[in-house]
Amino acid sequence: MELYDICIVGAGASGLASAWYLSDKGLNVAIFEQGEALKIDSLVSLEDGGELQKTKELNPNPNIRKSHSDYQIDTSNSPIDIANFNGIGGSTVLFSAHYPRFKPSDFNVFSEDGVASDWPLNYADLKPFYELNEYHTGLAGLMGDPQYPDVIPSMPPVPLGPMGRKLAKGFESLNWHWWPAYSAINTNNYQGRPSDDYNRPSNMGDFTGSRGSVDNTYLPKAVSKGLKIKENCQVIKLIPNESRNSIEFLNYKDQAGNLHFCSAKVFIIAASGIGTPRLLLSSKSQDYPNGICNSSGQVGRNLMLHPLGYIEGRFPDNIYSNLGPQGCCLLSQQFCKSNSKNGFYRGYTFQAIRGPLPIEAAINLLNSKQIELGKNFINNFFSKYNHTAHLAVITEDLPEASNRVILDPNDQSSDNLPGVKINYKLSENTKKMLIHGLGNGRKLLKEAGAIKTVAFGPIRYTGWHTLGTCRMGNDPKNSVVNKNGKTHDFNNLFIVDASIFPTSGSVNPASTIQALSLYIAESIFLKYKNLLSN
Amino acid sequence: MEILNSTLVSLFNSAIPANEHLRKGLGDLIKDKRFPEIDNLIKELLNNHEEIMSYINKIISHKKPYEELDYKDVIDQIIMKYGKSKCLLFTKDLSSFCSKAYFSNPVVLKSYELLLNSKQKEDILNVEMDKSIFSSLIKK
């Protein structure tokens, strides 16, 4: 039987960060990934019609992509579909690379606003790990942001472009906060990786290595320290020992369909806010009828998805809105804090995003009946394409026990595990926040010179950020892991992904996911040394 | 069996016709150079809308050879025959197909200069202009 010091399940943002940290400390680490690495030669250049791949093999929705490593997610009880990528690098392979940190107040939501809960750790605990993570990933941005006074980017910001400059003028005119985006995209050569040439949107895979996806950053460093990659190996169950205090084995299936057992001193789960509860719930047995780590009944609950709204503003001139890195342009945190006048708790971030490429733009314009096929299609298309500025509202979704990931016993078709379903409803708080954001977004775009604006949300295909389904807390009665990521129920089982977030912040979570993973990896190495010694 | 028959060429040409920038409509562009991905999408469209497709075939067969097919006219006739909701499902799939087939075609991407070269990008992004904006932002 295979035996390692550390077994990690999931080679995405959090799994590979921990894998690097622990391999670097000389530990014998294996990482299990149900998918494989995205092969560069499978990517088609945009000149050769590569955008078409975004509608199938590079589609972020696993229910559309249907690769051999994907499992279907039933979202019929949710206004938002799940977006991810199952393979080496996880969802960072297709991420937009927007990379802001959470702010200190994001860790103290209950103390500040009397809702949700505080994290059992604070910003100061994570700060050194944000810095370590930004060093390894590379951060483009601008120092001096009043919202993030201690962030020191290692590279200049990504270009604003004509669209960003228009929007910046609007923010200035309203005297609202704005700042160039924090991006995990190289604007200089960085640690042997080149500067981005903006030839390809950041969410369509990477030819060059210029983006800070984990297959470019932590993976090669971890492999050089001896990390063993078990690709196309799907972990199907975690098996506790007889005394019920530790995990003894994991059971996995290789690409040929053969089942294996593997043992380790420490097990780390890093399979996302959907995959992690799915694995824990699927590991049920006679002794654990509700799945493992679930003595609190919290596994799968409190799903937060950052519901997004979009505001589009049409400009008379060509503002080349699709030029530049897709998800990164500028952000505004004018409305990220609670304000008693707003009628809701917490707030939202504005994120300017680049427009879609022509296939996606045409489909969106046709579906929304802004243009139609026929004689005037081309003229109408080009009067709108690249003339439209795009702004996203990212709402701070608060945890609700009824928003949850559950197993779907009726669906056994997608792989070896039971099917997975999400039950998710927008809370009244989030709805009010979204409406507020859409209104302010229109105001901003008009101020920036838009002649027409449209606003809509929540956007169905944007469930990238799956947070909160195995939450962290001090009390084992209402949380799944402690402040060091250790599960309350087992001595040697840790979780490092976004499922442990008690609250969601209002920015893309990748930076916080990875900082938290490094923090937990250090805790394992320093505070739980005894687990590794025998 | 050839899937791209003259009915489909006419239908696609009517959906995205030739224009002053590009002298070929979508149907002729597909006919000129075949891509397996697009052929698969055509098959999908045919399978999903067999009945409507054969009706379109009938509409076209009644046209005189020199008569140009008008997209709006075809859709109106489909609505009359099958009703709005069935037609909507068809036009949604057709819109998606036409967008994918047209804007993945290298001739189209080149003709409309949809993908800029490095120099063009550099000029438009104009990082120098950003620098002065950033320096006044920091000073605030």
A493-511: average pLDDT:
98
Residue A412 clears pLDDT 70, i.e. is over it: no
Token pair, residue A194, equals: 């080149």
State CA A78 to chain mean position distance.
Answer: 18
| CA–CA dist B96, A193 (Å, integer) | 37
Residues of A in contact with B91 (CB under 8 A): 373
Nearest residue of chain A to residue B121 (CA atoms): A323
Q: Nearest C-alpha of chain A: how many angstroms from B127? A: 6
| CA–CA dist A339, A346 (Å, integer) | 8
| CA–CA dist A158, A21 (Å, integer) | 28
- B109 contacts A47? CB cut-off 8 A: yes
Residue A60 clears pLDDT 90, i.e. is over it: yes
A318-345: average pLDDT:
95
Residue whose C-alpha is closest to residue A204's, from A364, A72, A329, A322: A322
Question: For testing the chain A interface, which of B130, B131, B135, B139 should be mutated: the one with the most A CBs within 10 Å?
Answer: B130
The percentage of chain A sitting over the pLDDT mark of 90, rounded to a whole number, equals 95
> Which residue in this structure is represented by tokens 């040697």?
A492
Residue partners of A524: CB distance under 8 A and separation at least 6:
A6, A22, A266, A268, A484, A485, A494, A531, A532
Lowest mean pLDDT among A407-411, A424-428, B89-93, B110-114: A407-411
| CA–CA dist A344, A396 (Å, integer) | 11
Residue A361 neighbours by CB distance under 10 Å: 22
Token pair, residue B72, equals: 């709006």
> Which residue in this structure is represented by tokens 């069935």?
B86
Token pair, residue A236, equals: 């199907």
Nearest residue of chain B to residue A55 (CA atoms): B100
Contact (CB, 8 A) for A290 and A283: no
Residue A534 clears pLDDT 70, i.e. is over it: no
Cα–Cα distances (Å) from A49 to B38, B105, B110, in that order, read: 11, 6, 11
- At A149, the pLDDT band (50, 70, 90 cuts) reads very high
A140-169: average pLDDT:
97
- At A414, the pLDDT band (50, 70, 90 cuts) reads low
Contact (CB, 8 A) for A408 and A420: yes
3-state class (DSSP) for residue A423: strand
A78-103: average pLDDT:
97
- A359 contacts B115? CB cut-off 8 A: no
- B130 contacts A180? CB cut-off 8 A: yes
Contact (CB, 8 A) for A519 and A500: no
Q: Is residue A70 packed enough to be buried (19+ CB in 10 Å), middle (13-18) or exposed (0-12)?
A: buried
Put simply, whether A49 touches B (Cβ < 8 Å) is: yes
Put simply, whether A223 touches B (Cβ < 8 Å) is: no
Annotate A480-527 with three-state secondary structure.
CECCCCEECCCCCEEECCHHHCCCCCCCCCHHHHHHHHHHHHHHHHHC
Residue-wise burial string across A282-294, b where 16 or more C-beta atoms lie within 10 A, e elsewhere:
bbbeeebeebbbb
- Dump pLDDT digits (tens) for A172-182: 999 999 999 99
- Dump pLDDT digits (tens) for B57-89: 999 888 777 778 899 999 999 999 999 999 999
- A49 contacts B105? CB cut-off 8 A: yes
Nearest residue of chain B to residue A158 (CA atoms): B127
Average pLDDT, chain A: 96
The percentage of chain B sitting over the pLDDT mark of 90, rounded to a whole number, equals 83
Residue whose C-alpha is closest to residue A335's, from A406, A391, A258, A277: A391
Average pLDDT, chain B: 93
Cα–Cα distances (Å) from A388 to A369, A450, B21, in that order, read: 16, 8, 22
- B137 contacts A373? CB cut-off 8 A: no
- B133 contacts A49? CB cut-off 8 A: no
- The one-letter amino acid at A290: N
Residue whose C-alpha is closest to residue B82's, from B48, B42, B57, B51: B51
Q: What is the pLDDT of residue A409?
A: 75
Q: Is the pTM of the predicted complex or chain greater than 0.90?
A: yes
| CA–CA dist A388, A392 (Å, integer) | 13
Q: What is the pLDDT of residue A502?
A: 98
Residue whose C-alpha is closest to residue A33's, from A84, A81, A73, A80: A84
Phi first, then psi: give them for residue B86, nearest 5 degrees.
-65, -40
- Dump pLDDT digits (tens) for A349-391: 999 999 999 999 999 999 999 999 999 999 999 999 999 999 9
- B104 contacts A51? CB cut-off 8 A: yes
A470-484: average pLDDT:
98
Residue B22 clears pLDDT 80, i.e. is over it: yes
- B109 contacts A359? CB cut-off 8 A: no
Put simply, whether A330 touches B (Cβ < 8 Å) is: no
Instruction: Return the H-helix or E-strand segment holding A179.
Output: strand A179-180
- Looking at residue A55, what DSSP letter applies? G
- At A413, the pLDDT band (50, 70, 90 cuts) reads low
Nearest residue of chain B to residue A181 (CA atoms): B134
- Dump pLDDT digits (tens) for A249-271: 999 999 999 999 999 999 999 99
Token pair, residue A350, equals: 């504005």
Q: What is the ipTM of this complex?
A: 0.95
Cα–Cα distances (Å) from B39 to B33, B94, B108, in that order, read: 11, 14, 17
Cα–Cα distances (Å) from A533 to A4, A27, A246, A270, B52, in that order, read: 12, 11, 15, 23, 70
Token pair, residue B5, equals: 């028959």
- B17 contacts A375? CB cut-off 8 A: yes
